[in-house]
Each structure stands twice: as structure tokens, then as C-alpha cells.
Chain A
Amino acid sequence: MNNFVYIRAENSQRALNALWETNNAKFLGGGTNLVDLMRERIEQPDAVIDITRLPMNQITELPDGGLRVGALVRNSHLAAHPLIRDRYRVLSQAILMGASAQLRNMATTGGNLMQRTRCYYFYDSAARCNKRTPGSGCDAIDGFNRIHAILGASSQCVATHPSDMCVAMAALDAVVRVTGKNGERSIPITEFHRLPSDTPSQDTNLNPDELITAVDLPNFPDARKSLYRKVRDRASYAFALVSVAAVLDVKGGRIQNARLALGGVAHRPWRATAAEQFLLHRPAEEKTFREAAELELQAAKPLAHNGFKVELAKRTIVDVLMELAGKAEVQ
């Protein structure tokens, strides 16, 4: 780890001032990812601004029936919150399938949004990585790429986004609230994370002068009928090979509303809009689900070792939708 300056901010404005006045500064929330990356010398900030004292650790109800989740709400708190468990069960499930209890106790909502990829080559400073060192090349494309992207990747980068929480939020159309030099703005979560394109070093559309303050979950009654499935190499404490967050509303055997997001397959949580559109008004049955999954995965471009993810993603989509549809019939 390199030496760095530690600054503790007492309120948002001071945090922002510190950010603006300091070169190469990073905000510190739970530190569960940033500190690891600093130890590995992947992140080398000159200053770390501790924002954990900022008053952003509340979950509050919004007038429209949605919820506002402060950026410093811990993952374990968010997952266990009665309103989250009741109204957005997919989000609670997703968080509980991530990391370990100890990490969830530390990790924050804003920090989870800012998680960086687990690509092996990103972590190894002896390897070439366009995300870590722009223009150096990518050792993953022709290397060990079993865990890498099958959708939306570029010739520069095939990394995936590691978060479970963000996949559920993508299915819920969450909105990220940020504040910066130009004041406050809102970024739909589906636009918050980027595809790698030719600038893989930029994970998100957050500007360097901005601070995440909260995530808004819109009023969404159908989200009670939701499910998160995570498929991984061991039963716990492993990143998703494929994960699926789904919301499904079925009436009279037909799909009234479907939201679908995939994890472990792309540089950002992958909102499966093609599949969603296909599902709408069609019969809630296996054939429909399979066709929707096929449609969504048409664009998949597997690498040498991750071809299995294409079929795995399709099967997991079908499995999750079948389970939700089965429950819908019972209801």
C-alpha cells in the first residue's frame, strides 16, 4: 500500500470540498473493496476521504410510496429492513447472496455501486489491463476468461460487474442520486454503470467531482413478486457466474409486467429489455420464457472459457420466471 492522506469529513459539503481540493482522492465508505485494491496497489489514491460520519445512513419513505436509501446504509441493514423485505424482496435476496456477513456489515450502498471488477488480470499488476492502465492491452480476452462477459464487451475489456445488489436495483429501476459542483442530479441505475467500449477504465458515469448521496427505489407494487437467483461455483462467498433478478406480474395466465436483469454477464448489470418486451402479454409458460431468454442472449459473444454462461443464463432466466409464474398461479 502507498502512503496516503486520511481526511475525515463531518458533512457532505466538507466531503465535497475535500474532494475538489485534493488531487486523486477517493471516498471511503465500508472500505471492503477500496482498501483491498489499495493493498494490491490497484488503487493508489493520494487521499482517502472518510465519509462514514455523514448523515446518509437512513432508509426513508418517499411521498410517492418509494424508498430513499442513504448512500451509507450498510448492506446488512438494507437487506434486513422490513420495508425492503416486504416491497423489494429481490433486493434483499440479492444482497444476502453477496459476500459474507462480515463484509455486508461493513459495505455501504454507495460503495456497492462503486465496486470494481474481479477480473483476475485487473488484480495482477504484472498483467496487461486496459481498465487499470489504459492502452496497455487486455490479457483476459485470450486468457482465463471463464468468469468474464458474454454481453456488451469490447475489444478493450471483457470484465464483468461483480455486484448482486446492483442487479436487483437494475430490475427495480432504481435511481442514483448524486451531488457535485453542478449541484444535485439523478442517474437511472441502468445508466449509472457503463459498458467498456473503448474507455474501460471508467466503470460509471459518476463525474469525478460527485458524491453519491442516496439510491431511490420507485414505488413498484409488482416488486413484491420478485426473485433473485445467483449461480456460482460454491454455495456461498463467490461471485455470480450468472445471476437473475426478476419481477413478474401475471394475470389470467398472461404476463402483465416483467422486469429482468442479469448479473455476471456484462460490464454492468444487464437489463434484459429485449426479453422484457417479448414477455409482455404473452402466456406465462416455459416456452415463452425460453424464447425470451433466447432473444436476450442472441447478442452473446462468448470467449474461450465462458461459453457455458450463454446456456446457463438462459436456463436460469427460465427457471426464475417459472418459479415466479408458479407462485403467481397460486396467488
Chain B
Amino acid sequence: MSIFSKVTQAVVQFVPDRDRDQLSEEHRIVGKPIDRLDGPQKVTGAASFTADFPLEALVYASLAFSTVAKGKIRKIDASEAEKSSGVLSVITHKNAPKMKDPPLFSPSSGTDAAASTANVVNTDEIYWNGQAIAVVIADTLDGAEHAASLIKIEYDEEPAALSFEAAKSQAETPKNIMGEDTEVERGDTEKVLAQAKYKVDHVYSTPRFNHNAIELHATTAAWNGDQLTVYDTSQFVRGVADSLAKMFSLKKENVRVLAPFVGGGFGGKGSMWGHVQLCVLAAKVVGKPVKLVLTREGVFRTVGGRTPSEQRVALAADETGKLTALIHTGTTASSFANDFAEQFSFPARHLYATESLYLTQKLVRLNTTPNTFMRAPGESIGTFALESAMDELAYELGIDPVELRLRNDPDQDPAKHTEFSSRHFKEAYRLGAEKFGWQNRPAQPRSMRDGKWLVGQGVGTAFYPAYRFPAAARVRLNADGTAVIQSSAQEMGMGTATVQTQHAAERLGLPLEKIRFEYGDTNLPQAPVAGGSNQTVSIALAVQQACEKLHRELLKSAKQDQNSPLSGSHFDEVRACDGGLFRRDKPETGETYVEILSRLKQDFVEAESETGPPLETMKYSMGSYGAQFCEIRVNEQTGETRVSRWVGSFDTGRILNPKTAVSQFRGGIIMGIGMALTEETFFDERTGRIVNPSLAEYHLPVNADIPKIEAYFLDIPDPHTPLGAHGIGEIGITGCAAAVANAIYHATGKRIRELPITLDKLL
């Protein structure tokens, strides 16, 4: 941690808290299971996704990928491709106009969003196998794809770093992990461990995973002089716009990026991948709008995934189960074209009380696609290791795995020693255990059976931090009594538009149908990346502030007008309800927005607000917690594993919309089941090539793999967040892989510490 952030952290302890949001307790619209507002558009096909915008004179781009992992392009022969029918241009490093270097994504920079520093097609340098090395533009997609196959490339190949195992000896300790200290040390853990009667000490490994959102990454770019308009499958339109402005030396205001609908992101669209700038470059070269949709293989080759990891967790406990030592260390991989140490050690910073604690991470660099965020980066793989180890310790001690967690619930943050803003860990466990029927579970492994199937039940803790980022929003009240809320926020299917509309309706005292939420467009006030489960809360605070500003301005205008029933009323004396502002002490006294605007003779009034940095997350330990319970069946003969039952129980602050929330939890759990049992990127270490870049061979779980999933939540507001809410997009995946592995142990007596748990590991 820098000295600056240490000082900030110290000062923040004395900064007063924001007033508790009064809407935390309102239940008029917020908290209702409203159907997602864009549902009809999506199911009828009316929703336009990035690849759906029919621009005039649109042409198509296709990419050619490197087939070596490191080296230089010696020769590139595009002559056949250029002659191929319908081809407008073939762009290679030989003829590509120069772009500035991509500004690498960094949380502190604000809007730098490039996923990689590799200036693809502006360089002859190869950083990974599958890197884009040429762009073909043709008047048809098939024409572009065919021509791309005709490009002949020769390389001066260099020895590449491809083996995670071999690279481990050169692993480095990163300076920090997501801005936090890499190393956390309290007490002499190794000594405590050596002397402990009850302990476990094991290594857990997780494989590479790749992104497979149903919507392929796509970009459509159109130039008009020095004005650039881009439709992009992005979780961060502002970041893409500003990064493109930097790369193409444009004024920020001349770049507009739109993403009205995104068909799944999961982190894979959280930064700007090379095809985005290449599509913009292609449009510049041919002087026409260009559409570039990556193929599924193209997504595997050019968009990164989750790092492989190897983690050691060692736990020591006294005979009551109280932790005396917790060690969580390990290694992840990054590439030579980015810098991202996935934060697997974060859960152990916040979850359990322990007498001594040691956490650190190492990083190796490989010639692979830059690794990136994938739903709960860090916490997903970190909880696999930590929560598997907790289960192993429970058996060592002969204590029920749920009980062991309850006994180690800390009073304050174990790493930072700060107060929790809102933590109901025990309640989440108790609710989940009750709903699952955990009390009926026999403790002994291999004690349940259903014919050929061994049955087991397992549990794992879910955890994800509660982040908030600075954001801006504008609120406009129209003379007809409708309102528009604007923020450049992203909707990847989570329900953002629905929930923010609910929020604004509650905040303004208007019915849902009078509100329109506009988003996914950089012409709107700036929203942060939709990542880190921050968006709902970040936007909500900006909307809250903008509404407050607007209400204050309306009251100011009323003060000057003796005819207004609100004349002389202070902000604290009124509340927004029934389509206007009314006095709290005399609810019949007040004015509707229609009356106010009519009195003011204005078509609309508006206010904009931008929120500041999240001081509350420095002052408090802010996180969401949960317990994942599952029942699995393992075929005794074949080792096939099927999940038969799932109960997730979550402490994630106030729930804004139970319907979209349950979908988020369920989606996370499904992704967690995939991580536990089926998903794995096969990476050929001889060539650095991904060998299963398709939905046929990269095994996402299918419907038949997923049982009924029950998700419950405590719905207890966090006093330090807008609406009392926490983001919930990521916590669902955390703890899942451990819950499955622990259930498999309970069923079979076999402890598998390596994901995914495919049947060969159980034979």
C-alpha cells in the first residue's frame, strides 16, 4: 500500500459516515420482485445488440491469428487475400496506420481500459499463440473469413514461457494485489502450525477457464470526419471511449461508445480487447463502417480467461475448533502483455478469526492471452482452496463443518482490524442450514447411498467484497410528470435497468411507468466499469445525490413563490411521494411535479451529480457473505458426478429486486458448478495453443447438469450503503467449487484438491 493510501486510510477513520439512506427501509417499489423491464424486448427480438445495428454501407472484418506463442513475424504474404473476391483491404503490421499504445486497464486510472499492452497489428512482436496479426475487410462476412484464411505468415519463433509448473521457480511477488498489500502477516503462523495438534496443510489447484458469454464479442465502428461512433459489447463504455480516444489521438468528446444491450459479460467484456481497436482501425482504413464479430474460436484466442492457480492453505486449530493459524499462499499467472495477479488471498483477509495469519501471492508470466477478470476473480478460486481446507479441518477435529465456521466468525476484520459495516455471517449459515436440512446429514463419509450412486452433502462459505466506485447520474423531471434517469451504465443482463428504474421511482415518488432509465451510452453521465459487483450501488448513490440536488432546487424555487404550498419548506421537511413533493408533517400539503413545472413554466428541470471516492470502504470492512449447501451423487462405478440439490443463503445487504437477485445468485451458482465439475481450458504447453476453443469441447454445464437451485437472502440493509444494498453479481459463484468438492468427499471419502473434478479423478 502506498504511503498516500495509508494516510488516506488513517484520515478516513475520522470522516463522519454518510447519513443512513432512508430508502433502506422503504418497500413501495424497491424490494419488489418486478419483472425485468427489457424482458419483452429481449424475447421478441426487438432488443438490438452490438452486432444488430444496420449501418449504411456496412462492411465486415475478420481476424487472422498467430500460430506461435512468441517471436516475430518474419514474412507476411497477404497477396492472395487481397485478390480474393469482395476484399476491400488487408491490414497487417506492414501497412497499418500507427495507433498509440493501448492504455492498460488500471482501477486507479479511471478510464484506461485496454486488456493488454500489445499493440496488435502495429507490431511484428508475438506475445501469445492466437494473437490477432491481420485484419481483413470485405463486403461480406464469408468473404472476409475466407480471405483471412489465405494469409501466409512466417515467423522467427523464439522459446516461449508456456509451462506454469516450470515458471513457478521464477515467480515474483507483486508489489500489491488490487491496490492492497500483497503480504499480510500477524504472528508466527509456521511455528503455531508446527506445534498444533489439529491442522491441515494442502495444496489446491485450479485450471485455466475461458469466457463463454452467449453473445460473442463484437464491435461496430463508424467514422464521420474525426467523430467516431462505436457499438461495442462492453461492460465499460466510458473506458472503451477514452482508451480509443488515446489510441487514435482524438478528443474524448469526439468518441461515442454505445452498448444498449450486452449478452453476458462476466468480466470478459470488462476491459477493451484488441479486436475493438482493430475494428476502429479497419473502419478508418476503408472509410466505411465496419462490423467485427469474433468467432467463438476468436474469443478463445484473443480474449483472456481466468488464470490457473496453485494455492497452499494450512490451518491450525485448538480442540474447540478456534483457528490458531491460517496460511493462504500461492501462485497465479499473468502474461507478458498485462499485469494482473488474481486476488485469491482476499477471502482469507476477511472471513475467519485466527490467532495468527499469513497471506501472500506470487505471480508468473507466461506467453498466453492476457488473463482477465472472470466472475469473482480471486474469491472464486480462493474460496475453493480455503473452504476445502476448512472442511478438511472439520473432519480432523470431528466438528461439524457448519459449526466450525460459526465458531470462527470474527468480531472485526481479521486483516485490517476495522469494524464490519454489516456482517450477518452466522445468520446466513443458519438460514441455509435450515432450508437445506443440514441437521439430518450423517457426519461420516460414505454413509448415504441411492442405488449405484453414493450421496454426499457439502458446504462452503461464499464471500465477495462490497465495492463502490465514483459514478455520475443525471435526473430530469419533465413537465408531463415523467422522469428520465441517465448514466452511461451497462446492462449485461443482470437487471441494472430494472433495478435503477425501481430505485428512481422510489426516490422520486413516481410510479415505475413514469421513469425511463437511459444507459449504455457515453453521451450520458459517466458510470464506472460494471465489474466488482459495484454498479448497482455506485449508480444508486449518484442517482440519490442527483435527486436530492433536484429536490433542493425545486424547494428553492418554491421558497420564492408565495403561491406554492411548499414555500418555506426545508428539504428535511418534505418527502417525494404521489408524483411530487409533500410535507412530512402534513402529507396533503405539497405539489406534484406537474404542478411545480407548470408554475415554473419549464418543460423540464434536471440535476446531475457525481459521487466521490468510497471512503466508507476504507473505514469499514465491507463485504457480502453466504453459505453454499449442495447434495451430489457420484456413480460408484464410473465416477460420474451429478449435483442433485442446491441451497445458497446470502447476506448481501438489502435486496432491491428479489426476482432479478435470485437470477443473479442462481447464475453464479451454475457457473460455480461448471467450475467445480466440467470447465477447463486445455492449453498445449508445447505450442501455447488452446486446443478446445469451442462450446462442444469446452464443457460448460448444460441444463441436465443443473438441479433446482434455491437461493435465500437475509435482506438486512447495510447502514453504510445507498439503499442498504450490496452488489450481488459475483458472490454466487464463490464457495461453490468447495461445496461440491466437500460433498464429493462426504459421498466417496475421496478428497479432490484439483479442479475440475472430472470422473477420472474419482475412479
Tell me if B692 is interfacial: C-beta within 8 Å of chain A. Answer: yes
- A319 and B145 alpha carbons, distance in the complex (Å): 48
Find chain A residues with CB under 8 A from B699 CB: 233-234, 238
B703 engages A231 (CB within 8 Å) = no
B701-726 residues with Cβ-Cβ distance < 8 A to A are: 701-705
Tell me if B602 is interfacial: C-beta within 8 Å of chain A. Answer: no
B638 engages A316 (CB within 8 Å) = yes
Q: Shortest beta-carbon distance, A261 to chain B, in Å? A: 18
B763 engages A308 (CB within 8 Å) = yes
Tell me if A126 is interfacial: C-beta within 8 Å of chain B. Answer: yes
A144 engages B145 (CB within 8 Å) = no
Tell me if B696 is interfacial: C-beta within 8 Å of chain A. Answer: yes
Tell me if A278 is interfacial: C-beta within 8 Å of chain B. Answer: no
Tell me if A185 is interfacial: C-beta within 8 Å of chain B. Answer: no
Tell me if B80 is interfacial: C-beta within 8 Å of chain A. Answer: no
Tell me if A143 is interfacial: C-beta within 8 Å of chain B. Answer: yes
Q: Shortest beta-carbon distance, A193 to chain B, in Å? A: 21
Majority secondary structure, B binding face: loop
Tell me if B142 is interfacial: C-beta within 8 Å of chain A. Answer: yes
- A143 and B687 alpha carbons, distance in the complex (Å): 10
A231-B704 contact in complex given A3-B146, A315-B637, C-beta closer than 8 Å:
no
Q: Shortest beta-carbon distance, A120 to chain B, in Å? A: 4
Tell me if B760 is interfacial: C-beta within 8 Å of chain A. Answer: yes
Find chain A residues with CB under 8 A from B678 CB: 233-234
A312 engages B759 (CB within 8 Å) = yes
Contact check: which of A139, A143, A231, A235 meets B642 at CB < 8 Å?
Answer: A235
Find chain A residues with CB under 8 A from B701 CB: 234
- A319 and B636 alpha carbons, distance in the complex (Å): 10
A315 engages B638 (CB within 8 Å) = yes
- A123 and B698 alpha carbons, distance in the complex (Å): 14
Find chain B residues with CB under 8 A from A126 CB: 67, 687, 689
B758 engages A233 (CB within 8 Å) = yes
Find chain A residues with CB under 8 A from B639 CB: 312
- Report the nearest B residue to A235, measured CB to CB: B704
Tell me if B163 is interfacial: C-beta within 8 Å of chain A. Answer: no
A144 engages B759 (CB within 8 Å) = no
- A233 and B679 alpha carbons, distance in the complex (Å): 10
Tell me if B26 is interfacial: C-beta within 8 Å of chain A. Answer: no
Tell me if B686 is interfacial: C-beta within 8 Å of chain A. Answer: yes
- A230 and B631 alpha carbons, distance in the complex (Å): 23
Tell me if B176 is interfacial: C-beta within 8 Å of chain A. Answer: no
Tell me if B149 is interfacial: C-beta within 8 Å of chain A. Answer: yes
Q: Count chain A CB atoms within 10 A of each CB in B642, B684, B699 and give the residue with the most.
A: B684
Tell me if A311 is interfacial: C-beta within 8 Å of chain B. Answer: yes
B640 engages A231 (CB within 8 Å) = yes
Tell me if B154 is interfacial: C-beta within 8 Å of chain A. Answer: no
A143 engages B684 (CB within 8 Å) = yes
A143-B691 contact in complex given A231-B638, A237-B702, C-beta closer than 8 Å:
yes
B441-475 residues with Cβ-Cβ distance < 8 A to A are: 452
Q: Shortest beta-carbon distance, A104 to chain B, in Å? A: 15
Find chain A residues with CB under 8 A from B452 CB: 319
- A189 and B415 alpha carbons, distance in the complex (Å): 67
Q: Shortest beta-carbon distance, B711 to chain A, in Å? A: 22
A319-B691 contact in complex given A120-B697, A235-B705, A308-B760, C-beta closer than 8 Å:
no
- A177 and B113 alpha carbons, distance in the complex (Å): 60
Find chain A residues with CB under 8 A from B763 CB: 308, 311-312, 315
Tell me if A124 is interfacial: C-beta within 8 Å of chain B. Answer: yes
Tell me if B682 is interfacial: C-beta within 8 Å of chain A. Answer: yes
Q: Which residues of A contact B (CB under 8 A)?
A: 1-3, 41, 118, 120-121, 123-124, 126-127, 139, 142-144, 146, 231-238, 241, 308, 311-312, 315-316, 318-319
Q: Which residues of B contact A (CB under 8 A)?
A: 67, 85, 142, 145-146, 149, 452, 637-640, 642, 677-678, 682, 684, 686-687, 689, 691-692, 694, 696-697, 699, 701-705, 758-760, 763
16 A-B pairs with CB atoms under 8 Å apart are: A1-B145, A3-B85, A41-B149, A118-B696, A120-B692, A124-B689, A139-B686, A144-B684, A231-B759, A233-B699, A234-B704, A236-B704, A312-B638, A312-B760, A315-B637, A319-B637
Given A127-B691, A316-B637, 11 additional A-B pairs, CB 8 A? A1-B142, A120-B682, A120-B692, A124-B689, A139-B686, A143-B691, A234-B699, A235-B705, A312-B763, A315-B638, A318-B637
